[in-house]
Amino acid sequence: MTAKVVTMALFAFAVFFPMTGYAAEPDFEAILAEVDGQMSFVDTDFTAEMTLLTKDPDKGVEKIVVRQFRRDAENKFLMLTQEPRQRRGQGHLRDGDNLWFYDPESRKFSHTSLKETIEGSDARSSDFSSSTFADDYRVTDYERGTLGQYAVYIVDLEAVHNEVPDAFVKIWITEDTHLVLKMESYSLTKRLVRTALYPSFQRVGNSIIPNRMIFIDELIPGKETQITMTKASTAPLDDNVFTKAFVERVSR
């Protein structure tokens, strides 16, 4: 009898103990893969309009409206500037490893980098492409914490290669839904360079992506960029959208 009770107690402990929160160490490989999967559009195209509001203590506030087209399965994206008028027609076109900047004034394409910022804002081209934490980073440390009302994992990541702009990042991932709420980017000298906040998300097709982003420049006090996403759609896009000819045509 006693043995039976002990066995039952042990069994109950094994079943219910994980639910108390003292769980096994999280599988961050899987979590990061899930983060990437949620924020990518593997099976569909993606279109949206992005409004960037850049606040610069020297230059004031500048508004830029960009139309974004993505095809993550082929590593392609296009961003066309709609506003302000003097920048209308400028485009960033990515086709695999090549990223081009188009200037409608000179009608020329020039090579650029995912690591470059967009139009003087704190956002980079890489912020508008698919998430690749699982491929580009490895976890060096983590802790549990909270961000507002959300229970999060605070995860330290180190780049596994030098193709990404940030050598070190720290991300806040919700424990239940595995959404990235905050990201701190650090330089090679481990100085905080930028903080990204993702205060709200939107389901678009099978993905969940932030529809509001705030990038804070940690080197220049008072400088930040707020991005709002609207008119999101997963309708199929024509193949020629991701071509230079298309960019030149729509920029006229």
Q: How far is the CB of 188 from another protein (least distance, A)?
A: 4
Instruction: Name the residue nearer to another protein (CB basis): 48 or 118.
Output: 118
Q: Between 18 and 120, whose beta carbon lies closer to another protein?
A: 120
Q: Is 167 in the site for another protein (CB under 8 A)?
A: yes
The site string for another protein over 56-75 (x = CB under 8 A, - otherwise) reads -xx-----------------
The single residue among 165, 198, 211, 215 that binds another protein, judged by CB under 8 A, is 165
- Give the separation between CA 183 and CA 123, rounded to whole angstroms: 13
Pick one of 2, 20, 149, 162: the residue that binds another protein (CB under 8 A): 162
Q: Are 186 and 170 in contact, with CB atoms under 8 Å apart?
A: yes
Q: How many residues does the chain have?
A: 252
Q: Is residue 166 near another protein by the rule CB under 8 A? A: yes
- CA 239 to CA 250: how far, in whole Å? 15
Burial bucket for residue 22 (CB in 10 Å: 0-12, 13-18, 19+): exposed
Q: Which residues of 76-95 are buried (b: 16+ CB within 10 A; e: fewer)?
A: bbbbbbbeeeebebbbbbbb
β-pairing, 168-174 vs 60-71, is: unpaired
Q: Can you tell me which of 132, 187, 202, 234 binds another protein, judged by CB under 8 A?
A: 187
Sign of dihedral through CA atoms 215, 36, 46, 167?
positive
**Residue in 88, 115, 203, 249 binding another protein, rule: CB under 8 A:** 115
Taking the least distance from each CB to another protein, the nearer of 179 and 216 is 216
Residue 168: both structure tokens together: 């070190």
Min. distance of Cβ 109 from another protein in angstroms?
15
- Residue 191 engages another protein in binding (rule: CB under 8 A): yes
The footprint of another protein (CB under 8 A) covers 57-58, 113, 115, 159, 161-167, 185, 187-189, 191, 193, 219-223
